[in-house]
A and B are shown apart, each in its own frame.
Chain A
Amino acid sequence: MLGFVYRLIIGPTTPDRVVALDAIGITLVSMVAILSILLDTNAFLEIILLIGILAFIGTVAFAKFLEKGVVIERDRDHS
């Protein structure tokens, strides 16, 4: 995870950072899972799902932003 953080800070281009962020998200998933085992509870299983969804949405949004400059396109602009 420290490696990803290093990439996040140094990362010469923005996509590098976005990928690092996505990877951090997935690492977080595994960390939460291991933590749940360590703490002997199942209260954090929802967080695992949520991180997965958010990391996906966030990465997609970033990607779209980097590609097109906007996240949500307005229909009117194209018609």
Chain B
Amino acid sequence: MTLLHVAILLPFLFAIFVPLLRKYMPQVHTGWFVLLVPVTLVVYFSQFLEVTGNNEAILESVPWIPALDISFDVYIDGLGLLFALLITGIGALVVLYSVYYLDKHKESLHTFYVYLLLFMGAMLGVTLSDNVIVLYTFWELTSISSFLLIGYWNHKDGSRYGAQKSMLITVFGGLAMLGGFIMLYLMTGTFSIRGMVEQSEVIFAQPLFIPAMLLVLLGAFTKSAQFPFHIWLPDAMEAPTPVSAYLHSATMVKAGIYLVARMSPIFAESGVWLWLVGGVGIVTLFWGSFNAIRQTDLKGILAYSTISQLGLIMSLLGIGAAALQNDGGENIYIAATAAAVFHLINHATFKGSLFMVVGIVDHETGTRDIHRLGGLMTVMPITFTLAMVGSFSMAGLPPFNGFLSKEMFFTGMVNVLEMDFFSLETFGFLFPVLAWIGSIFTFVYSMRLLFKTFTGDLQRDKLEKEPHEAPFGMLISPLILGSLVVIFGFFPNILSINIIRPTMASILPSLITQGETFQVDIFFWHGFTVELFMTLGVITVGTLLYHTYPKWKRVYNVIPKSLELNSFYDSGMHHMQRGALNLTQGVMTGYIRNYLVAMFIFIVGLLAFVLIDTKSWNVTTENTAPIGVYEVILAIVTVVAAITILFAKSRLTSIIALGAVGYAVSLFFVLFRAPDLALTQLVIETVSVALFLLCFYHLPKLGRNEERMRFRFTNAIVSVGVGAIVTIIALVAQSEKLFDSISSYYIENVYEKAAGKNMVNVILVDFRGFDTLFEIAVLSIAAMGIYAMIRLRLARRNEES
């Protein structure tokens, strides 16, 4: 247990004390105590910057389940540290924001902060674990804590629906990911990610390579809200705004990005990886930005915007994999990975601040509907400035950091045109085209977000509260994030040395040798390049589209409601439930006869299959005894009596015929020299016939109509089948006696060892007395059961009367 492990577990440990703090110090907002955790952690993690800056990594290990090769390995390299800093840094800002956002008296703060701390710890665990099983454990913890946080206001239907939806989708992906991890383990024999990376050549050659990759990607895509699994994210907006800002823009949705980046060294050699990650990313980018424009809820816009920006990062990671195919010369495809890492940071800053801004607007006006908002610029100047910085950065305008990452994004996408492998020369042109169109839509919704909220007329009558500027405490966090947007915009290279380079070294480890670093320099001015003209085009066409939106918004009605992904999900859930219900109701009829038919058909089928499959139906008559005339007569009597039972008109006849069968059987016992059996059989048969008569007498009047048993074809077939199969098996078993019986031992020792001459009785009470003991127990239980049934029924009847 090192300090690193303590750092990851610190949020969990602190979460234990949160309810106590709330209970015993109610006068102080619980958030202030919680704030200590991420602040401590961010200070602690920033000291590793120096280590990773030199492309070194730290590995600490604590055994957890050594027998299964599972240990809690913490591995800090550039990529892990970047995420750890994001999680703790934005975590601190979000906790600070939530102190002012959530009311001390109205909300149950302790549950909120417990969930939030659970999430923070789980997220740290995901990004810093080297063991895939530990990673998966933390991964599911993020799903669960996210579920709890989305459903925080659990009195609202929307919250519960959103929480359930996100849970189902992310856990589905998580399980797929676990399957992928286990396949990787089967291929490499290790759970360690570093161990897998070392054996990536081995994995590449195995048949399980593609299934493992698909399953791992399924986990990443569901978590990161990639097309078509993005549908849970807009519904997760029912969560409190600090949660949306933290989980659904900066951290949890980037867990999938993290996984893709982390697994790149293992899978990226394959063309399937490039096409899947790049293709799904670019489609998500396009679809998310296209749908963001139609949203009227501010958080809805931001949710689809998050989806599209995650798609952007994902597609860059996919294209970055092309760098591995390039041998010799200047490797231009590395730029895509650099852009991905840079945009990852940028997106966390501006999206976090935008969510907080939207939260402020909601908090101060009482609505998030852009039709009711407007003209807030003069009322809330600081919020407006923050929103402007965030939106312009999101749209990719200079001088903010979004501009830089968008330029790098275009560079990466334009480079696709030069690829001549994985059949990219045929369809590769789609990447820059979709990227450009997606960026135009991004520009349009960013502008709608900003100008529909803050410009125009102030509609006081539509607002629930008199709008005013937010308290200063609520503005601190977005102010910090907003200034980061500007700082990273003007001085992007401060990130380059300590963060982007080591992160790229983790994503593309095979491309650098020891002690070497990637050369990443980010400049505002590239000269008159293609990217610059693309950006100019984005701004021109975007402005045009923004102003003509009312004219073309009918485009969104082209896709009918029934074909939307959400209604697929809803009707899918509905049909699954209905299907399961119908299946259960169809099979579980409640009639014993149906169950019996099923059981007997199964028995006959199984036995017949085994008989035919093993070809063991040879019947010989070698071991059989000669048939005497008495046996024949008795057999005829028995058969006649048995058939009488089946075809008797009255139940009484059936009972008497049953008695006849019993007596005939006892006669068989006599014939085959079993005097004890014959005695017992006679007595038992008499008693049971008497009992049958008792039942017959007590039958209710209604069911007493004396009617011949109705003939049912299925039943006849099944019963004939059962009889035939049992007969065949008895004959087969008889003809294949493999060894002699053990009865000679009993015959020799019945008097010498057990002092008895009646061998049946000696076996019953001496050689195998245990069976007899428990048969006695069975009889007593039966007797007591009958007594209890009769007495309890009598008692109840007395009570009623």
Contact = CB atoms under 8 A, between A and B. Distances in A.
Interface of A: 1-2, 5, 8-9, 14, 17-18, 21, 24-25, 28, 31-32, 35, 39, 41, 43-44, 46-47, 50-51, 54, 57-58, 61-62, 65, 69-71
Given A5-B640, A47-B670, A50-B682, 9 more contacts: A1-B633, A2-B633, A5-B637, A8-B660, A9-B644, A9-B657, A17-B652, A43-B673, A71-B694
B683 A43 contact: no
> What are the 5 A-B residue pairs with the smallest beta carbon separation, nearest first?
A43-B675, A54-B686, A9-B644, A47-B678, A17-B656
A51 B679 CA distance: 9
Nearest to B690: A61
A18 B656 CA distance: 8
A14 B652 contact: yes
- Is the interface on chain B under 10, 10 to 19, 20 to 34, or 35 or more residues? 20 to 34
Contacts of B682: 47, 50-51, 54
B64 interface: no
A65 B489 CA distance: 105
A42 to B, nearest CB: 10
B540 interface: no
B701 to A, nearest CB: 14
B679 A50 contact: yes
B794 interface: no
A14 B696 CA distance: 14
A1 B682 CA distance: 18
Given A9-B640, A51-B682, A65 B693 contact: yes
The main secondary structure of chain B at its interface with chain A is: helix
Interface string B681-706: 01100100110011001000000000
Interface string B661-678: 001001100110101001
A44 B675 contact: yes
Interface in B261-319: none
Contacts of B630: 35
Contacts of A58: 659, 686, 689-690
B641 interface: yes
A6 B678 CA distance: 24
B616 interface: no
A51 B663 CA distance: 9
B653 interface: yes
Contact of A65 (B657, B660, B697): B697
Interface of B: 630, 633, 636-637, 640-641, 644, 652-653, 656-657, 659-660, 663, 666-667, 670-671, 673, 675, 678-679, 682-683, 686, 689-690, 693-694, 697
A69 to B, nearest CB: 7
A5 B686 contact: no
Nearest to A18: B656
Nearest to A34: B630
Contacts of B686: 54, 57-58
Contacts of A51: 682
A17 B653 CA distance: 8
23 contacts: A1-B637, A2-B633, A2-B636, A5-B641, A8-B656, A9-B657, A14-B652, A21-B656, A21-B659, A21-B660, A24-B663, A31-B670, A39-B673, A41-B673, A44-B678, A46-B679, A47-B678, A50-B679, A54-B682, A57-B686, A62-B693, A65-B693, A65-B697
A24 B657 CA distance: 12
A17 B678 CA distance: 23
Contacts of B637: 1-2, 5
B667 A31 contact: yes
A19 to B, nearest CB: 11
A53 B667 CA distance: 16
A79 B671 CA distance: 50
Contacts of A50: 679, 682-683
Contact of A5 (B660, B670, B679): B660
A54 B630 CA distance: 23
A50 B644 CA distance: 26
Nearest to B650: A14
B370 to A, nearest CB: 86
A71 B656 contact: no
A28 B670 CA distance: 10
A64 to B, nearest CB: 11
Given A28-B667, A39-B673, A47 B679 contact: yes
A32 B673 CA distance: 11
Contacts of A44: 670, 675, 678
A9 B657 CA distance: 8
B671 A35 contact: yes
A2 B638 CA distance: 11
Contacts of B636: 2
B660 A46 contact: no
